[in-house]
Structure 1
Amino acid sequence: MSSYDAVCFDLDKTICEPTQDPATLLERTFEGVDCDRFCTPSDLRAAVPSLPTVQTAREFYEHLFSEVAGRADADPTLAPSLAERYLEVQDPSAVRFRPGAAAALEHARERGQVALITNGGRPTQIQKLRALDIEDAFDVRVYTDPSAGIHPKPNAAPFERALGELEATPDAAIHVGDSLRADIAGANAMGIDSAWIDVGRDRAAEDEHVPTYELSSLERLESIL
């Protein structure tokens, strides 16, 4: 019997990861805007921890390309066009399970209620769930929806919505995610136990946001449920 009444999962970089080649995606983005490429996929990943919390994917990529442009002494006014083009060539349905994710999700489902709490809007995220055939794997799905007052993690709203619909209390729940700044900080503020999946991109915030558990992959989640 699990010690938790509810297990909440993040989606991107926790349950799934994209299968599109990052270099090709970036190349097509710059070709579509007709400007010289001033960054690499590694540059984009390195800039993510510096970005503010935003409401939409469009805002996220605008901030991302603006940040990278500044670091490369390139024109930051290209950011909106690059963000728009990136989203045009990106295929949300081109995803696969991260190592151990399918088994971890099934294990959690066998032991209690399961929720999805994702910093993405429903139209985009539902494509990923359908591609993985896990649309119906969650008792509750919470997407970012500022118009309904559901702001992105670490905001408390998505956690409150999930626990409220599950009729679970914070001390009987655990949240699993890859972002210290969003997943772990949000769970910590709510008094929810947290499991951080270290994907090698968020170490700068490690001292600031301490998870209850630190896992190298979801293959180890079974040991704490």
Structure 2
Amino acid sequence: MTTAVDAVLFDLDDTLCEYRRTSAELLHESFDAVDVDPFFDVEEYYAAYERVVNDDDDHDGMRELRELCFADLADEYGYSRDLAYAMADHFAESRDHTDVDPLPGAEAAVEALAADHALGVVTNGAPEMQAEKLSALDFADRFQTVVYAGYDAPAKPEPDAYHAALAELDVTADRAVHVGNSLRTDVPGAHNAGVRSAWLHDGTPEPDPEPHYTVERLDDLATPPWSV
């Protein structure tokens, strides 16, 4: 018999909400702003971010983290750090963290689960940035705890942020599920923490690692697969 679930933890970016203007679009504009052909893509930026957020404890928020990421990538491809800083400035000035929409079914899922589960958010990202996104969602008050991984604890897929959220909710890992879209951070992070994973399907035919549950839309969680 499957152990009951008392708490559901959610990822934020591309799980509960998404920017109206994507990071890829802003990155392309940042290259245009410094009149240089693109020499790295958004996936390389994300990978650099994961390295920097765990390896550098002296950064002062998301803006400086992005500068470090762009500068590291500029070094790698033989471009100047000053150019990278100019790109990062343009990116930061163009980004509005309240300019987000909930993903389809997000509000319905959260409202349904809130009736009989404790809810939390475990998100990689700077608190000042992620808090703005979350505050823009009509259902933000349904979450009893928010852990900013990479700041309050090591970034996902390390397990510490999950453990911190569950401690706040007074729920053990075996009675929790984490909902997220990333096979690189969310699913392995949940597994590392001893938490069941519910993966928001992105079209990957054979997900690795394999999640415990797969949902096509978030409102599929209105009838939780762990209760079937």
Specify every segment of 5 or more residues in structure 2 that has no aligned partner in the other structure, as ranges.
54-60
1:75 aligns with 2:79: yes
1:137-216 equivalences under 5 Å are 137-144=142-149, 146=151, 148=152, 150-200=153-203, 203=204, 206-207=207-208, 209-216=209-216
Classify the secondary structure of the residue corresponding to 1:181: coil
Alpha-carbon distance in 1 for matches of 2:21, 2:38: 20
TM-score by length of 1: 0.80
Pick closer, same or farther for the CA change 1:24–1:50 going to 2, 3 Å: closer
Q: Say if 1:159 and 1:187, in contact at 8 Å, map to a contact too.
A: yes
Give 1:35's aligned residue: 35
Change (3 A) 1:145 1:44: closer
For 1:205 and 1:69, locate their aligned partners in 2 and report how far apart those are by CA, in whole Å.
35
Using the alignment, how far apart are the partners of 1:24 and 1:91 within structure 2? 13
Q: Is the 8 A contact 2:50 2:155 kept in 1?
A: no
Report the RMSD for the aligned CA atoms in angstroms: 3.1
**Paired residue for 1:117, among 115, 122, 129?**
122
Task: For 2:220 and 2:78, locate their aligned partners in 1 and report how far apart those are by CA, in whole Å.
Answer: 42
Asked if 1 retains the 8 angstrom alpha-carbon contact of 2:120 and 2:146, the reply is yes
Residues 158-187 of structure 1: CA distance to partner in whole angstroms, max 9, x if unpaired? 111111011101110000011112111111
8 A contact 1:47–1:68 mirrored in 2: no
Q: Deviations over 1:35-62 (max 9, x none)?
A: 223269xx42476468644426443575
Q: How does 1:129-140 map to 2 (within 5 A)?
A: 129-140=134-145
- Equivalenced residue count is 214
Kept in 1: contact 2:215–2:221 (CA 8 A): yes
1:118–1:51: structure 2 CA closer, same or farther, 3 Å change rule? closer
Corresponding residue for residue 17 of structure 1: 18
Change (3 A) 1:45 1:21: same
The CA distance in 1 between the partners of 2:70 and 2:4, in whole Å, is: 39
Give the structure-2-normalised TM-score: 0.79
Q: Percent identity?
A: 32
CA contact (8 A) 1:16 1:95 kept: yes
List gaps (5 residues or longer) in structure 1.
none
CA contact (8 A) 1:9 1:117 kept: yes
